[in-house]
């Protein structure tokens, strides 16, 4: 795929801080000349705030939220006595509470970042000074050009070029887990011209390094080093990166090249793309709609006020009406704008944020999401982005990698084909037996030489045994396979590889290594054989290796090898082709000069020259044969995919394997089934690809199908489909239950996800375990990473990180489902309760002459969202369960209930708002009717609107709290505390107000007078019955005559033993599978 077609997020961008250092100065070594240009210090700062900027910056961040700005305007209005009917604290305290909670959270997180920075910045390292002294220097004080001694198990404080190491050959072992998540050891090298120099020789040396400008690319770096008159090229294997750890090497002395914010670690520390859930986006629109509804109410009141001021006020001398009707209408507009402001729940955003964090912790504490249930902390899942919890319930597409995601990524060397002969037990020493018999000896010898020389494995000795560590589990398996056949790779230096072959050591001088990349899909090593000849050993994917084979390759051997590859692929085995060529000394010298010229070129043409140099040597290879490696499926993968398909989720498997291998794995993991209609899109040109897609669309799109549809497409056809036949490809795959994409590159993975996301407008989830999956993980709505054997890059770049693929089922169908139900209920109930309580002011306006008189006591307004009604929805959003998780996992079809997103829609919110309007109407007019014949106290005084307001607030708060109780499914002690405690809290505060006349003179004895009044109790019971009976009746009718699946399962779970229900569900699924011709799970 060309760069212009790539998703925007896939194009890595340089940080602005690095741009001004692209013309980077030379780095001096020893007595080398030093430039005066100022470079960044090595101080690392990842904090968001400083001591002085915290308050202003945090307030700025918080007031970027429209809701906070809205309530700030309300606070300002309340400070204008001539307009506001409320005292300022009714708005100030709730806003301060919300801002304070958020500020405390931000402060805590930033303090943790500051502590981590402080620890790193103050670590001490040994620096060799020009006067010969060794001085302990803090990390933050290091400068470019400093000679630093790094000890074993120390982290690198800056980007450093190693000059000499404790190992004789100048290599050192580095662990880069903090950089790229890869846990295996990598080999880095000191330049030969510097290695072996003593500290005094380094300090007195004359030279410099001419590096390229700072770059975020961890695997690419170029430079030239001149030392004591000798010039050598430097590459990525000569640069130790900040954050990496020195291992298995006693010490390294190196020169600091990049510091602070221009190190590769800092340039890669960018925030992941912002992702917002469907619920969150819909909530923002709903808040705007409620605000519009509020403005409508205010305008209605303002119009009523204008008519009242014109027609009635002149005759009402006691109103002291002195202004013009227009001026009074404007004042009334702002007064009711403030009075009705509480229709929008101020604390909703904070409550939702806290709830999502708790839900994320529940996921991490789930024993069933851990490999070891007794060690959840280390083997459980990790939640990286809690704001997508409810989005997990809406997933319609899953895009999955294969190797390490569906499979164990634990490779086993099984079979080989050498010179046209297949060896089925090669992993058990069959090749060694063939050598001892003298069979196919030359070909087998070169084949095993290839396995032991053309690799990047690091050998380690443990308990007398050689253990291999490599970036790729394939390479470990190949070296293990060679060892089982008598060719044991035992040692590696910077210049040679030692292989123990049947009792004797062979030393291969490694002259050049052309590394593997996903684009090249092959690796080559140019070495001097122990017999003195020059040879190139290559191995790679068949699609890349076959064009490199010599024209003189025996056609029968070539065809037999291809047949064996196809047979291995049908068995689900991973294959590689091996080749080699003997080079003459002149041929090698000519090529070595070409490669040296490419390596020392510091211009933009360097990459092209390196590519041409590789192509010049990697040609006319002799075919040795192919390998076959087994990668077993992870535990419960077939059951997991089967259940995801039952949950109406469409699953795509995207892999770099051959079509036959991918198809075989598809059947093994139940992604493909015997009853499915298969469409194979295999094409080598765009015309054939277009014809296949068009004919498939004509047959399947818009037609009724008895069986589910699946598509299998290879990488070549996929490139044509994505660029030239996009519409037909998307139209066909959008109706498929399963899709298998093979021979796919990392960039194509991300492009597939981007296209399906934009075309279907459905929620897409990507899951993978390797660095090549990061693009599609970040492109999807939800990214899930697996802690794989190829490192933790995918897990670190994801929104949720799990240990095994089987955990995805529970993440979606249990945690995602619960989170969506809980958050939808929390949001809609929060909007309802505020609207129901404060729309009373709207109805009261028509009875108070539009005077903006508040019917509620100020403390009721102040504490309504803080104490009286906030706890029940909070506990609901943490504990609510409609059915048990055991039933959900046994019957994943319950996922469909939430997948359509019907629990929180504009129509469902409209129902809640209309319910609030109705309840507010009942609250107000019940109070007005009860007090139509106003009661007197024994002293002869009346309470008037004050008494009515307290009666209305009491029944309103109790009713909205009990409203929550009508749709709670799971009751526990905390739910009871939330419901009854909230009512008790209101009663307590009301009682306290009534006992302190000096503090609350208008409320004196109000509580006792109201509860002793029989009219109040009549009103209390009447309001609750009138408001809640319709809701309860509607729920009864729905459950009794139009039940959802979850309601039936809920009743079955209640009246039966849960194990009996699970047995019944298994029997139903077994019968369904048998009817559809599937193998039961």
Centre a 10 Å sphere on the Cβ of residue 320 and count the other Cβ atoms it contains.
7
Q: What are phi and psi of 531, to 5 degrees?
A: -85, 0
**Helix/strand/coil for 630:** strand
Contact 108, 875 (CB under 8 A): no
* Chain centre distance of CA 21: 32
Closest CA to 656 of 754, 771, 746, 565: 746
Residue closest to 191 by CA, chosen among 219, 158, 224, 213: 224
CA distance 284 to 314: 44
Within 99-175, strands assigned E span 124-128, 134-138, 147-151, 159-165, 171-175
Question: Where in 102-201 does DSSP place strands (E)?
Answer: 124-128, 134-138, 147-151, 159-165, 171-175, 185-189
Tokens of residue 523, six digits: 């690796």
Tokens describing residue 49: 């705030």
Q: Strand order in 147-151's β-sheet?
A: 134-138, 124-128, 147-151, 251-258, 159-165
Instruction: Give 628's strand partners.
Output: 415, 575
User: Among residues 275, 274, 397, 273, which one has the least CA distance to residue 781?
Assistant: 275
| Spatial distance between the Cα atoms of 679 and 696, rounded to a whole number of angstroms | 7
Alpha-carbon distance of 658 to 570, in angstroms, equals 10
Distances (CA, A) of 241 to 21, 39, 217, 238: 18, 18, 11, 10
Residue indicated by tokens 């899930």: 784
| Residues 145/256, Cβ–Cβ less than 8 Å | yes
Q: Which tokens is 382 given?
A: 């990790």
List, as one string, the DSSP characters of 662-708. Answer: HHHHHHHTTSS-TTSEEEEE--SSHHHHHHHHHHHHHHHTTS--SS-
Burial class (CB in 10 A: 0-12, 13-18, 19+), 764: buried
Can you spell out the DSSP letters for 432-444?
HHHHHHTSSHHHH
Identified catalytic residue from 146, 159, 366, 401? 401
Query: From residue 931, how far is each of 919, 935, 936, 990, 1055 by CA, in Å?
Result: 18, 7, 11, 20, 48
- Distances from the Cα of 943 to the Cαs of 79, 951, 1012, 1029, in angstroms? 27, 11, 14, 31
Q: What gap in Å lies between CA 1038 and CA 1078, rounded to an integer?
A: 35
Q: 627 forms bridges with which residues in the sheet?
A: 416, 576
Q: Closest Cα to residue 927, out of 841, 860, 852, 826? A: 841
Is residue 401 part of the annotated active site? The answer reads yes
DSSP string for residues in 955-1005? HHHHHHHHHHHTT-----HHHHHHHHHHHHHHHHHHHHHHH-TTT-GGGTT
Rg (CA), the chain: 36
Dihedral of CA atoms 347, 353, 354, 356 in degrees, nearest 10, equals 140
Q: Which of 527, 539, 468, 524 is nearest to 496 (CA)?
A: 527
**Catalytic residues, which ones?**
401
């Amino acid at each position: 795929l060309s760069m212009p077609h790539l998703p925007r997020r896939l194009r890595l961008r340089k940080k602005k801080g690095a741009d001004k250092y692209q013309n980077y100065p030379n780095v001096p070594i020893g007595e080398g000349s030093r430039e005066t240009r100022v470079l960044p210090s090595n101080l690392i700062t990842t904090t968001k705030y400083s001591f002085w900027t915290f308050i202003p910056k945090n307030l700025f961040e918080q007031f970027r939220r429209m809701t906070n700005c809205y309530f700030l305007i309300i606070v300002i209005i309340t400070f204008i006595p001539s307009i506001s009917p409320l005292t300022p604290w009714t708005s100030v305290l709730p806003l301060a509470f919300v801002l304070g909670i958020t500020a405390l959270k931000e402060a805590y997180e930033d303090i943790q970042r500051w502590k981590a920075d402080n620890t790193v910045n103050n670590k001490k390292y040994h620096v060799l000074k020009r006067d010969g002294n060794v001085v302990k220097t803090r990390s933050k004080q290091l400068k470019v050009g400093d000679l630093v001694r790094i000890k074993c198990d120390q982290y690198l404080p800056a980007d450093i070029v190693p000059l000499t190491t404790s190992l004789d050959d100048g290599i050192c072992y580095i662990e880069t887990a903090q950089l790229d998540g890869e846990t295996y050891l990598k080999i880095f090298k000191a330049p030969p011209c510097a290695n072996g120099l003593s500290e005094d020789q380094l300090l007195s040396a004359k030279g410099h390094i001419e590096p390229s400008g700072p770059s975020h690319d961890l695997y690419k770096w170029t430079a030239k080093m001149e030392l004591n008159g000798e010039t050598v090229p430097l590459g990525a294997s000569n640069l130790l990166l900040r954050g990496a750890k020195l291992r298995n090497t006693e010490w390294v002395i190196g020169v600091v090249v990049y510091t602070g914010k221009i190190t590769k670690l800092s340039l890669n520390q960018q925030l992941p793309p912002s992702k917002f859930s469907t619920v969150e986006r819909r909530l923002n629109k709903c808040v705007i709609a409620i605000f519009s509804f509020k403005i409508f109410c205010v305008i209605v009141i303002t119009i009523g006020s204008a008519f009242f001021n014109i027609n009635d006020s002149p005759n009402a001398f006691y109103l002291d009406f002195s202004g013009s009707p227009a001026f009074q209408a404007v004042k009334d507009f702002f007064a009711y704008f403030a009075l009705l402001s509480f229709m929008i729940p101020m604390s909703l955003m904070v409550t939702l944020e806290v709830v999502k964090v708790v839900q994320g912790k529940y996921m991490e504490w789930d024993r069933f999401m851990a490999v070891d249930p007794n060690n959840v902390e280390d083997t459980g899942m990790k939640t990286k982005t809690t704001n997508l919890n409810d989005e997990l319930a809406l997933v319609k597409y899953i895009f999955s990698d294969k190797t390490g995601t569906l499979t164990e990524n634990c490779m086993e060397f099984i079979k080989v084909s050498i010179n046209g002969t297949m060896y089925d037990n090669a992993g058990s020493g069959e090749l060694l037996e063939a050598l001892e018999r003298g069979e196919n000896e030359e070909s087998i010898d070169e084949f095993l030489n290839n396995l032991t020389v053309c690799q990047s494995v690091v050998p380690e000795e443990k308990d007398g045994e050689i253990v291999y560590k490599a970036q790729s589990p394939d390479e470990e398996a190949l070296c293990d396979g060679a060892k089982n056949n008598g060719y044991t790779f035992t040692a590696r230096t910077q210049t040679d590889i030692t292989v123990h072959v049947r009792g004797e050591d062979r030393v291969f001088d490694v002259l050049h290594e052309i590394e593997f990349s996903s684009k090249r899909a092959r690796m080559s090593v140019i070495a001097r054989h122990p017999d003195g000849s020059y040879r190139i050993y290559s191995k790679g994917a068949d699609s890349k290796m076959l064009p490199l084979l010599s024209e003189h390759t025996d056609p029968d051997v070539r065809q037999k090898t291809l047949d064996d590859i196809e047979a291995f692929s049908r068995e689900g085995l991973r294959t590689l082709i091996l080749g080699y060529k003997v080079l003459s000394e002149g041929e090698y010298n000519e090529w070595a000069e070409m490669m040296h010229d490419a390596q020392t070129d510091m211009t933009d043409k360097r990459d092209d020259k390196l590519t041409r140099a590789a192509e010049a040597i990697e040609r006319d290879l002799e075919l040795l044969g192919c390998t076959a490696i087994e990668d077993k499926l992870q535990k419960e993968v077939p059951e997991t995919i089967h259940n995801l398909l039952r949950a109406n989720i469409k699953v795509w498997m995207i892999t770099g394997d051959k079509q036959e291998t991918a198809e075989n794995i598809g059947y093994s993991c139940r992604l493909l089934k015997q009853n499915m209609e298969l469409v194979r899109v295999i094409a080598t040109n765009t015309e054939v690809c277009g014809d296949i897609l068009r004919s498939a669309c004509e047959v399947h799109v818009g037609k009724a199908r008895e069986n589910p549809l699946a598509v299998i497409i290879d990488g070549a056809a996929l490139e044509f489909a994505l660029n030239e036949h996009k519409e037909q490809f998307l139209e066909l795959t959008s109706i498929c239950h399963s899709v298998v994409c093979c021979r796919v590159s990392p960039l194509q993975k991300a492009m597939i996800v981007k296209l399906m996301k934009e075309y279907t407008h459905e929620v897409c989830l990507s899951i993978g375990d390797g660095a090549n999956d990061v693009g599609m993980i970040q492109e999807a709505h939800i990214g899930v990473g697996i802690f794989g054997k190829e490192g933790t890059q995918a897990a670190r770049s994801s929104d949720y990180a799990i240990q095994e693929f089987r955990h995805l089922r529970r993440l979606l169908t249990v945690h995602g489902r619960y989170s969506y139900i809980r958050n939808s209920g929390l949001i809609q109930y929060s909007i309802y309760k505020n609207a129901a309580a404060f729309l009373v002011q709207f109805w009261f306006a028509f009875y108070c002459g539009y005077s903006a008189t508040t019917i509620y006591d100020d403390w009721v307004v102040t504490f309504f969202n803080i104490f009286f009604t906030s706890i029940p929805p909070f506990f609901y959003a943490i504990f609510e369960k409609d059915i048990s998780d055991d039933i959900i996992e046994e019957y994943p079809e319950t996922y469909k209930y939430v997948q359509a997103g019907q629990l929180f829609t504009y129509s469902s919110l409209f129902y809640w708002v209309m319910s609030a309007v109705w309840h507010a109407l009942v609250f107000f007019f019940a109070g007005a009717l009860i007090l139509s014949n106003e009661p007197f106290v024994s002293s002869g005084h009346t309470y008037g609107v004050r008494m009515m307001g307290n009666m209305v607030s009491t029944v309103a708060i109790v009713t909205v709290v009990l409203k929550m109780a009508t749709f709670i499914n799971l009751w526990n002690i905390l739910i009871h505390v939330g419901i009854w405690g909230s009512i008790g809290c209101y009663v307590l505060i009301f009682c306290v107000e009534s006992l302190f006349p000096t503090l609350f003179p208008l409320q004196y004895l109000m509580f006792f007078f109201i509860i002793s009044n029989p009219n109040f109790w009549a009103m209390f019971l009447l309001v609750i019955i009138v408001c809640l009976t319709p809701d309860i009746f509607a729920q009864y009718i729905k459950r009794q005559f139009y039940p959802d699946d979850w309601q039936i399962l809920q009743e079955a779970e209640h009246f039966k033993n849960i194990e009996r229900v699970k047995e019944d569900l298994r029997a139903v699924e077994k019968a369904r599978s048998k009817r559809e011709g599937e193998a039961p799970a």
